[in-house]
Amino acid sequence: MTDIRGRLHIDPGANGTWVLAGSIDETSQLGELLARAQQGRLMLDLGGVQFINSLGVRDWIRMQTEATKQHLAIDLLRVSEPIIHQFNMIIATRGSSHVASFYAPYACDACGREESLLIDADVHAASLAQLVPPTQTCPECAAQMAFNDFPERYFSFLVPDSSRPG
């Protein structure tokens, strides 16, 4: 059964995952998701999140903070580009959650296709730690696609805070 909160839809997914789609804003009430954790872990699929506004960011940070207080682990799957941009701009949005997979922008020089492709952060951890994007094949023409952003900027959410200059 779909839980609708303003412009955010929350559906049960496979293996205890909660699938979020739409927009995260002041009506999302994300803190209530913590009650859906199983065995101390909340798994969120964020692939369908298309937008998050400043009030949604505030709600997201509050959810992360409360999860830490409750000793709940948060696993983030299929994190959409709008959420990745927030992770890179506002460190507090990361909380202590684990990003298992995320979408990243790629472009094909051969056919001109641009697409957000899924990256498994655990499988590619070594190359991502070096800020090297995984190679991707164009689904349209099978040519190798180019990463369509600056790796040091886009992947900065993966760099631990302690290793950041500051």
- Give the pLDDT of residue 125: 95
**Residues of the chain with pLDDT > 90: what percent?**
92
Residue 1 has pLDDT above 80, yes or no: no
**From CA 117, how far away is CA 102, in angstroms rounded?**
8
- Give the pLDDT of residue 165: 43
- The number of CA neighbours under 13 Å toward the Cβ of 77 is 13
**From CA 49, how far away is CA 133, in angstroms rounded?**
22
Walk me through the domains of the chain, giving residue ranges and CATH numbers.
3-99 (3.30.750.24)
Q: What is the mean pLDDT of the chain?
A: 94
| 30 or 3: which leads in pLDDT | 30
pLDDT in tens, 114-132: 999 999 999 999 999 999 9
Position 81, amino acid: E
Q: How many residues does the chain have?
A: 166
**From CA 61, how far away is CA 57, in angstroms rounded?**
6
